[in-house]
């Protein structure tokens, strides 16, 4: 974090207004990202249930590699650091796999015969 020699009262009102406008845009984008992630996870939950029902593994390394390659290309075309995009997708993939493992476990437990 950086420090400044100016106090908030010393900042030009036009600069304060521009900061506020930009921060409002950032807040809106953050909200959109959260909603998009929620939609993505709704889809991946369905994938997890389908995999569990058909006893498919929670992870699909070939698909994950294709997605990472695809996202890196998209990031480059969007002028975003591809390394950052890959880290972000790896984090999401890790969460998805954890969800799929939990769904698989829940499905297996529900299908197991009850002990007498």
Question: Which pTM was predicted?
Answer: 0.79
Ordered DSSP codes for 57-107: -S--HHHHHHHHHHHHHHHHHTT--HHHHHHHHHHHHHHHHHHHHHHHHHH
Q: What is the pLDDT of residues 3-21, one digit of tens each?
A: 556 666 788 999 999 999 9
CA distances from 60 to 27, 28, 76, 106 (A): 34, 33, 24, 20
* Mean pLDDT for the chain overall: 92
What pLDDT is recorded for position 90?
A: 97
Mean pLDDT of 59-86: 97
Q: How far apart are CA 82 and CA 40, in angstroms?
A: 20
């Amino acid at each position: 974090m950086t420090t400044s020699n100016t106090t908030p009262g010393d900042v030009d009102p036009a600069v304060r207004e521009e900061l506020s406008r930009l921060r409002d845009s950032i807040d809106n984008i953050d909200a959109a990202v959260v909603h998009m992630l929620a939609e993505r996870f709704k889809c991946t939950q369905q994938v997890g249930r389908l995999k569990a029902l058909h006893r498919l593994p929670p992870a699909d390394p070939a698909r994950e590699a294709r997605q990472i390659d695809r996202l890196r290309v998209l990031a480059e075309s969007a002028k975003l650091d591809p390394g950052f995009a890959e880290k972000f997708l790896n984090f999401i993939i890790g969460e998805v796999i954890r969800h799929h493992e939990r769904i698989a476990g829940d499905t297996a437990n529900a299908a197991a015969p009850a002990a007498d």
